Amino acid sequence: MQWFRRPVLAIAERDAVERFARSSGLTRKLVDRFVAGESLDEALPKVLGLSRLGITSTLDLLGENVSTSEAASAAVATFTTTLRELHALGLEPNISIKLTMLGLDLGDEIAFANTVAILEVAREVGGFVRIDMEGSDYTERTMATFETAHDRFPEEVGIVIQTYLFRARADVERMMERGARVRLVKGAYSEPPSVAYSNTDDTDDNYRRLMRLLLEHGRYPAIATHDPKLIADARAFAEAKGIPPDRYEFQMLYGVRRDAQIDLISTGYRTRVYVPFGIEWYPYFTRRIAERPANALFVLRQFVGG
């Protein structure tokens, strides 16, 4: 789907488009569909609401590519507060982080030190931290940082693998060898054809292969997709192989396919929702729109009143 994603993201990167999106009341309504609020206080009631339905969450403070150590430290403070607040509420302390928000652009050692500070709190409260994968320029550095962290915090940290990247199978095998928990996603960044599949069918086929590999041989994989065919395939494969539902979980995004989330949890499958919050919602929002033509059509219908 790179043919679709690239032009949408290119348009979204224009300053005038971002200014319009941030100032438009209509856009605000659309953002509220995908983002749980601009603060932790706004997001926590959404997590509690999901919990009442039997759905677990992973909270993500939106933001990336910070340019100062002060901004990275502020992110660490919010992430550690989030872990402690979830614990205090009797909820699973589960968060997702991006290394560029923790200072990766300032140096690998800065991002690692900030990651360790978060993981120490996760260990303290019995929580879990998932390191999100960003654009392909950061993939190997993210993997290396994760591996160093996983050596010290094997129970507290997991990683994300993007199946539209050609390197995905090698990365999955690399993670299975060390017993790391993997969240499998298709990928949402604009990538060159030298590193990623440009065809949706190729990405889906790779997802299916790696999903089956993780289900059979991985450690509690997270099957993160909204694709009903892939979800049905995962369920059928697990049943055929005698893999019980407590050996894996499905993951979906806040505000996307809520009906499917309810269906999964009501039929006995563990389901977790990725709940983003924060004032830096624009890049995340545009990637959600660019992921699928259906998302873009949804936005278009809102603007034309359909």
For the record, the structure tokens of 251 come out as: 């993951």
132 is catalytic: yes
Length of the chain: 306
Round to whole Å and give the CA distance between 189 and 277: 19
> What is the number of H-type helices and E-type strands within the chain?
13, 8
What residue has token string 């009906």?
259
pLDDT at 306: 41
Q: Residue 202: enclosing H or E segment and its boundaries?
A: helix 200-217
Q: Report angle CA 275, 280, 286 to the nearest 5 degrees.
A: 75
Largest CA distance in the chain: 53
Q: Answer whether 183's CB lies under 8 Å from 161's CB.
A: yes
183 is catalytic: yes
pLDDT at 188: 82
SS3 (DSSP) at 4: helix
The ranges assigned to domains in the chain are 36-280
Beta-strand pair 182-185/128-131 = unpaired
> Which of the following is catalytic: 60, 132, 171, 204?
132
pLDDT along the chain (306 residues), means of 10: 49 52 60 88 97 97 95 98 98 98 98 98 98 97 98 98 98 98 93 94 97 98 97 98 98 93 97 94 69 55 47
> Which of the following is catalytic: 130, 181, 183, 270?
183
Radius of gyration of the CA atoms of the chain, in A: 18
3-state helix, strand, coil in the chain (%, to 5): 60, 15, 25
pLDDT at 3: 46
Domain 36-280 of CATH type 3.20.20.220: yes
Round to whole Å and give the CA distance between 84 and 125: 7
